Structure 1
Amino acid sequence: MSSLRERQKEERREAILDAAVALFDQLGYSATTVEQIAARAGVSAPTVFNYFGSKQDILYALAVRADTLALDEAIEELPAMDSMVDAMCHLNSMIVKRELEALPVTVWREICSPYGNVSEGYQAVNQRLMQGTAQQLRQAQQRGRISSQYDPLFIAEFLNDYCTLMFAKLVHEDSPDLSAHDQRVRQAFELIFNGLHP
């Protein structure tokens, strides 16, 4: 019985997230209310608040889901990559792809300034990404792929700041060009990792 209840809870949670994405896309993040999300998901507003403390928490749950999926997918493939540039470019590409699938560009425009600043709450999402990236960099150090004199967390923070800025610029383009974005990121990563080579 408890597995049925857990499955129903997860289905309700997903219905709320799906309703939120549809409304964020249709009305914009700021104009969407929790009551509208609840009505579209077929639940009450208090039920939404039971699952998510606020509309902002729904947004973060969507971003965390996208970033976690991207990180998990990329981490499986990273050890097989000979080049750290290829590995980090692949990770960034997966994150961008999943984030743009999770939320419409219009919503990302609302929550990311063109200067790379993100809301305070979203910084917690970025922190999770930095920790995952730092772990990959530690493993690269252990395999002798990058110099051990550099702090993996510092490198991860630096890469995250750069990628956040580039993502904010991407979503503010009239017609976001993923190919040009990937090329700019690759150029920066080549510069960084050529300098970090032991």
Structure 2
Amino acid sequence: MAVAGGKNGTGGEGGLRDRKKLRRREDILNAARLLFAERGIDGTTMAEIAAAVQVSPPTVFNYFGNKDGILIALITEGTRTARTVHLQKPPRTDTDFATVLTGIFTDVSGRTLDIAGKRVWRYAEAAAIRHPAAPLACEYRIVEDSLHLSLTERLAPYDMRLRSGGPADPAQLAQVFYDAWNPCFFALICDDGCTLDQHRADVDARFRPLAGMIFEPGFLRQPVLKPNPEPS
């Protein structure tokens, strides 16, 4: 049995070494994020990232392999954290549902830009298209699947009623509005001068007529939540 604070415990030499490695890894990611935003990924070298953290280039290679490895770590770890925060937000019923949807999706946009700057996302989008079998593209698709699941979970609490009278599938509706949001997000990252407020207006302009065609007017005007299940 290991003794806390001993040589093999979490407070001993092994634990200290692990913490230093984790801190160095975070320092490398933070330096890369800043350099990628300033110079672009193609304009940044592994040596420059290493110099910013005051480590050797082989150290950076040992942690991440290459720049795409750094980018994958930035995207996957950032989106994992963002999803956790995203799902903690309580569902809103104090405004119309088109506004709710715009808020959900523009929140995704803002948190995405918190993970990495526009230049990074432009590179990731282009790389995923150019090299669809590469690890970066595969990881990008996983992130998109995770985002769709997160959006589905954000819509699931609402007692959504449709104009058609049919059942409301949160996953299908998440996909419909994701497809409407995605061109707006692409326009946001392609225009360095576009602000989140402008992006919000663009998303709302797309969502409002679409929501009007899909949802029953009463629910659209005053969204309600599904009743809590009775305790067994």
* TM-score in terms of structure 1 length: 0.77
Cα distance in 1 for partners of 2:85, 2:195 equals 23
Displacement of 1:20 = 0.6
User: What letter matches 1:110 in structure 2?
Assistant: Y
Q: RMSD over aligned Cα, in angstroms?
A: 3.0
The aligned residue for residue 189 of structure 2 is: 171
**1:86/1:11 CA distance change after superposition, 3 Å:** farther
Cα distance in 1 for partners of 2:99, 2:61 equals 42
Displacement of 1:29 = 0.7
Question: What runs of 5+ residues in structure 2 fail to find an aligned partner?
Answer: 1-8, 217-232
The aligned residue for residue 151 of structure 1 is: 169
Displacement of 1:94 = 2.1
- The structure 1 segments of at least 4 consecutive aligned residues displaced by more than 4 Å after TM superposition are none
Identify the match of residue 7 of structure 1 among 9, 19, 32.
19
Question: What runs of 5+ residues in structure 1 fail to find an aligned partner?
Answer: none
Cα distance in 1 for partners of 2:153, 2:43 equals 38
Displacement of 1:7 = 2.9
Say yes or no: does 1:131 pair with 2:131: no
* Pairing of 1:1-40 with structure 2 (within 5 A): 1-2=9-10, 3-40=15-52
Cα distance in 2 for partners of 1:87, 1:74 equals 14
Displacement of 1:185 = 0.7
Cα distance in 2 for partners of 1:154, 1:45 equals 46
Cα distance in 2 for partners of 1:57, 1:165 equals 27
1:59-117 superposed Cα distances (whole Å, 9 cap, x missing partner): 2332334434443333322424444433332222222222223323333333346xxx6
The aligned residue for residue 211 of structure 2 is: 193
Q: How many residues end up aligned between the 2 structures?
A: 193
Cα distance in 2 for partners of 1:192, 1:176 equals 23
* Pairing of 1:109-124 with structure 2 (within 5 A): 109-112=122-125, 120-121=137-138, 122-124=140-142
The aligned residue for residue 120 of structure 2 is: 107
Displacement of 1:174 = 4.9
Cα distance in 2 for partners of 1:54, 1:151 equals 41
- State the percentage of identical aligned residues: 30
Cα distance in 1 for partners of 2:88, 2:184 equals 25
**1:161/1:45 CA distance change after superposition, 3 Å:** farther
1:112-166 superposed Cα distances (whole Å, 9 cap, x missing partner): 46xxx697242222211111111222332xxx13456343333323333332321
Say yes or no: does 1:64 pair with 2:76: yes
Identify the match of residue 162 of structure 1 among 170, 173, 180.
180
Cα distance in 2 for partners of 1:130, 1:72 equals 14
Say yes or no: does 1:75 pair with 2:82: no
Cα distance in 1 for partners of 2:59, 2:101 equals 40
